[in-house]
Amino acid sequence: MQNYFDNELKNIERELTQLKTGMVKSAGVIESISKTVNISVPLELSGSGLTASGEKNYRVYIEKASIVLVTLDWYHEDVTKEWEAQRTSRRARAYKMDFPNGDAGITLVISGKDDDVTQLKNGYSVSVAVKLTVTCTSDFSIEEI
């Protein structure tokens, strides 16, 4: 009976030690590197002249197999108006893809609002500024393609 209790105490001590040191090994504390790029995307009229949008493409050169996360500083200018029939606010989207060699590709797409369409039809140029943040578990560089 004494051996049973000794074994249980050792098991409890081992579990407590694992719980105390678990954060050291968890995914929540993996070191990562973040880089932010200020981007200005020029908008163009669609073929029909009814919408305005712009696109830029980037390649993230990664040193080794890594996890890559892509975020923008905003996705909708005014989220309360996102689903309105008339486009009264701009929308930004970032799409990530992986190249066969392990690098990441990012396509940034901006959809303009109706005021942008009017400005473009009147001969003005319209650009939308957005901040793209890339976070990676290894060192990397970003290049527009």
**Domain ranges for the chain:** 1-29, 31-144
Per-residue pLDDT tens digits for 73-119: 988 877 666 566 667 788 899 999 988 888 899 999 999 888 889 99
| Domain 31-144, CATH number (from 1.10.3470, 2.40.128, 2.60.40, 3.30.1460) | 2.60.40
The DSSP letter of residue 81 is G
CA distance 124 to 105: 31
pLDDT tens, position by position, 2-41? 677 777 787 788 777 777 665 555 556 678 889 999 999 9
Residue 42's closest CA among 125, 106, 116?
A: 125
Cα–Cα distance for residue pair 36/56, rounded to 1 Å:
15
pTM of the complete model beyond 0.85: no
Please state, in angstroms and rounded to a whole number, the distance separating the CA atoms of residues 135 and 70. Answer: 7
Residue 124: how many CA atoms within 13 Å on its side-chain side?
9
